């Protein structure tokens, strides 16, 4: 017999109750079947916790491994990507597409464990070919740096992270200094600007981005600096002399060719030189990309609703 339950209400339990028998007081029930709709609950992702009772097999969660989030790649002039070993035949490969491979000078080397270019603070550096720039060339420099000690082996009070210079006179150089007290100075030699007194410490990685818009005047109108994604204000300013680069100027890491005892005792990762002034959002993107893996180690599940249709349970 087939019996349809005369109700549209959902039930969790059904009871089959025998109220009487006939004949020899025997009861036989065979092949009982219930038909209806199986209830499926929604999977819930709480803040910080994901619970799965079924196997979740996916080839990858997150961005594509070959994703490139680098902003303004078309305006890169030099890029030394240290995420993997960039060295070949005594040089550092430039991945900007401009062919500005850097040359190892002195004891500079690549450390695969650190994923960084390493400098011993004794006249060793990496230098690009001449950039061909002149005058007040707009530029942005993004680097990750770490100091092994605050005083380099030359016992100078300044270490140099990067330099754009050809050894010329004042105002023909753009370079980043770190003093032994942790103060950072972005110098044009005659138009210097310092920020974040006592901020830098040895043994810690910092992301520093310097942006110059090509203008005259002091740093409040022409230069901006970000450290670890936060823009910093200037503590002191120099004169208003405008930058005046020469075509022979090169991009060097770890050494100041004009002041040859300002050597960097530490490491530099993923240096990028642009011929344009980056925006604040582009600087933030560079910081979010991370030092070594371009941000591919992270996956953002921030208050995200994830629904998994289990279907028949497979």
CA distance 286 to 268: 15
How many CB atoms are located within 10 Å of the residue 7 CB? 7
Helices and strands, counts by H and E, the chain: 2, 20
CA distance 298 to 290: 10
Q: What is the pTM of this model?
A: 0.72
- Cβ neighbors of 42 (< 8 A, separation 6 or more) are 307
Residues 188 and 245: beta-carbon distance below 8 Å: no
Average pLDDT in the 176-198 region? 84
CA distance 129 to 119: 19
The confidence score (pLDDT) of residue 169 equals 60
pLDDT tens per residue across span 136-153: 999 999 999 999 999 888
Residues 176 and 267: beta-carbon distance below 8 Å: no
Confidence of residue 36 (pLDDT cuts 50, 70, 90): low
In this predicted structure, the answer to whether residue 165 has a pLDDT above a threshold of 70 is yes
């Amino acid at each position: 017999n087939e019996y349809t339950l005369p109700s549209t209400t959902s039930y969790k339990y059904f009871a089959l109750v025998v109220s009487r028998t006939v004949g020899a007081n025997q009861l036989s029930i065979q092949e009982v079947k219930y038909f209806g709709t199986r209830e499926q609950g929604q999977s819930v992702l709480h803040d910080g916790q994901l619970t799965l009772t079924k196997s979740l097999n996916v080839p990858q969660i997150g961005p594509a491994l070959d994703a490139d989030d680098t902003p303004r790649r078309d305006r890169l002039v030099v890029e030394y990507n240290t995420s993997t070993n960039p060295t070949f035949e005594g040089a550092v490969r430039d991945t900007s597409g401009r062919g500005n491979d850097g040359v190892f000078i002195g004891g500079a080397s690549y450390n695969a464990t650190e994923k960084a270019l390493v400098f011993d603070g004794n006249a060793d550096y990496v230098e690009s070919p001449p950039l061909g720039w002149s005058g007040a060339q707009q530029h942005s420099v993004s680097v990750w740096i770490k100091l092994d000690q605050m005083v380099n082996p030359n016992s100078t009070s300044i270490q140099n992270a990067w330099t754009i210079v050809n050894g010329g006179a004042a105002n023909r150089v753009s370079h980043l200094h770190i003093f032994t007290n942790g103060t950072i100075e972005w110098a044009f030699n005659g138009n210097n600007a310092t920020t974040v007194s006592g901020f830098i410490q040895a043994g810690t990685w910092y992301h520093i981005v310097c942006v110059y818009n090509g203008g005259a005047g002091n740093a409040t109108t022409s230069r901006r600096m970000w450290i670890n994604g936060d823009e910093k204000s200037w503590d002191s300013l120099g004169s208003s002399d405008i930058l005046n680069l020469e075509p022979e100027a090169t991009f060097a890491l770890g050494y100041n060719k004009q002041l040859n005892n300002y050597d960097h005792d530490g490491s530099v990762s993923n240096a990028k030189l642009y011929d344009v002034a980056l925006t604040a959002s582009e600087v933030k993107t560079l910081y979010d990309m991370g030092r070594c893996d371009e941000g591919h180690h992270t996956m953002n599940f921030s208050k995200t609703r994830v629904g998994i249709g289990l279907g028949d349970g497979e």
